[in-house]
Amino acid sequence: MKMIINKMLLAVMVIVLLGACNKKLDIVPEGAPTTGNFWTTDKDAIAGANAMYEQFDDENFYGRGYWWFINASDDMVTGRIKAEGDNIKNFNRNFIGGSYTEGQWKLRYIVIKRANDVILKVPSINMDAALKNRILGEAYFLSGLMYFQLAYTYGGVPIVNRDSLLNDKPIPRAASADIVYEYAAQEFKQASALLPYFDQLAQADYGRPHKTAALAFLSKMFLYKKDYAHAEQYADSVILSGKHQLLDNFSDVFTIANNWSKEYIWSAYSTMKGTGGWGSILPGVMLENKGWGKYNGWGYYMPTKELYDAYETGDKRREATILKPGDHFTFFGKDTVYGSLNSLSGYQFRKYMEPFSYAGGIHLSPNGDHPTTDLCVPLLRYAEIILIKAEAKLMQGKNADAEINQIRHRAGLANVTNATMDELKKQRRCELAGEWANRHYDLVRWGDAQTAYSKALHGTNGREVWPARTFNPAIHNVWPVPQSEIDNSGGVVTQNTGW
């Protein structure tokens, strides 16, 4: 924490990525400004806002690194043996200090620091009022989002006091995740008040935060906080805005043509095309290792038979979500029959395969060592908001058939009556499989992780591919604080119990 708060972090390298979904939004580097010559013009405000997104290009931010935590779920297995990833999936503390997840905390506090700089400095700049509000709204949004992600990952985390940003003393952790959630709620509320709706953004600004994105994350945060009345309230604020709707066909959600569809709320994508690549790395991470000789897929995060079998007969989402042996798909312009040469489970996620369907790899990074695409990978989409409302209603003893049947209808399934939480859990699993919605954390917050992880996971032929695991809710409901943060704070930042 000391390094995060002791000096200005606006000296940005080449800023290459907006962490929402956008290749149009060009983010331009501004050198290494200082507090003495910066924050005086509208160009400074724009550059300061753009700097908030720079960390999102790190492959570990919304790609392989954080996905090791999501990979702990029963929906997927590590497609290639990787000691650090295996330890994470098995809740073995030996991964602490490893390369992939060690930086998650720091990456997000860098974003928080830059957001705080914007919130403190931009109000005094003489500039267009609408632009100023949008930039400040972005800063509040990203601050709230980072604290939200930190809280459900680690529990209570340090909350940086904007009134003492020059104080270089380490900051103790908040006593609980709920305290952090309440702080994040205020940030999201400020953001929603300042931000325009998505359809009010210029096309060049697509991918920046917008009003319903702030309201949507407020709803999800209150669901995680188990404040179900407010979760329902803010889900309704998104639904009743009239700005979003489900696409008619589930598979259309995961196409480049629909990057900005009515179902879009917030996604991971890039701003810049070039030899170094652009976009979300997750599709390439999930692609068959070596991509059958066509592209450098990394072969991680393969679906399990347990996930495949969770779908009802006739559920259109299953084939749109998962490739199984014998399935036809288009790969680099040619009809191809799926069969893995190395997948541990024998399956692959199909959701993110559309960019690989085009001849010549025209939607892929030319850098196979950074296998990104120009497909928006959802971090939060409208279908999840409907399911959040359904869950919030059920947890308050209300009927949620209307919401659940809306999701079932698109999947080609018959309506249900008096749906229970079991049905909600099934729909959330089948609708959001392989997405940032985070099946692992769903199991944790429902209290289902211990039972789910006590069962082995299987591949296409029914063979066990991952043994049963021991999950202790008293320890494993949160992930360990990176050891580097504890060391840098001199022990002021403490480790989670049991880790």
- Are 282 and 62 a contacting pair, CB within 8 Å? yes
The Cα–Cα gap between 49 and 71 comes to: 32
pLDDT at 221: 98
Question: 10 Å Cβ neighbour count for 129?
Answer: 7
Tens digit of pLDDT per residue, the chain (499 long)?
Answer: 333 223 233 333 223 333 344 333 433 333 444 556 899 999 999 999 999 998 888 889 988 899 999 999 999 998 888 899 999 999 999 999 999 999 999 999 999 999 999 999 999 999 999 999 999 999 999 999 999 999 999 999 999 998 775 567 899 999 999 999 999 999 999 999 999 999 999 998 999 999 999 999 999 999 999 999 999 999 999 999 999 999 999 999 999 999 999 999 999 865 545 555 667 889 999 999 999 999 999 999 999 999 999 999 999 999 999 999 999 999 999 999 999 999 999 999 999 999 999 999 999 988 888 888 989 999 999 999 999 999 999 999 999 999 999 999 999 999 999 999 999 999 999 999 999 999 999 999 999 999 999 999 999 999 999 999 999 999 999 999 999 999 999 999 999 999 9
The Cα–Cα gap between 221 and 151 comes to: 10
Q: Which of 302, 349, 268, 286 is nearest to 53 (CA)?
A: 268
pLDDT at 6: 32
Torsion of CA 481, 485, 486, 487, to 10 degrees: 140
pLDDT at 59: 87
Sorted by where each begins, the domain ranges of the chain are 38-195+471-498, 270-375
Measured over the CA atoms of residue 229, residue 230, residue 232 and residue 237, the dihedral's sign is positive
- Are 458 and 304 a contacting pair, CB within 8 Å? yes
- C-alpha distances out from residue 50 to 16, 45, 449, Å: 10, 9, 38
82 forms beta bridges with none
Measured over the CA atoms of residue 348, residue 296, residue 206 and residue 50, the dihedral's sign is positive
pLDDT at 81: 81
Residue 476 CA to its chain's centroid (Å): 20
For 38-195+471-498, CATH number out of 1.20.120.1780, 3.40.720.10, 3.40.50.620, 1.25.40.390 equals 1.25.40.390
The Cα–Cα gap between 391 and 397 comes to: 10
- C-alpha distances out from residue 402 to 55, 156, 218, 407, 416, Å: 40, 36, 22, 9, 9
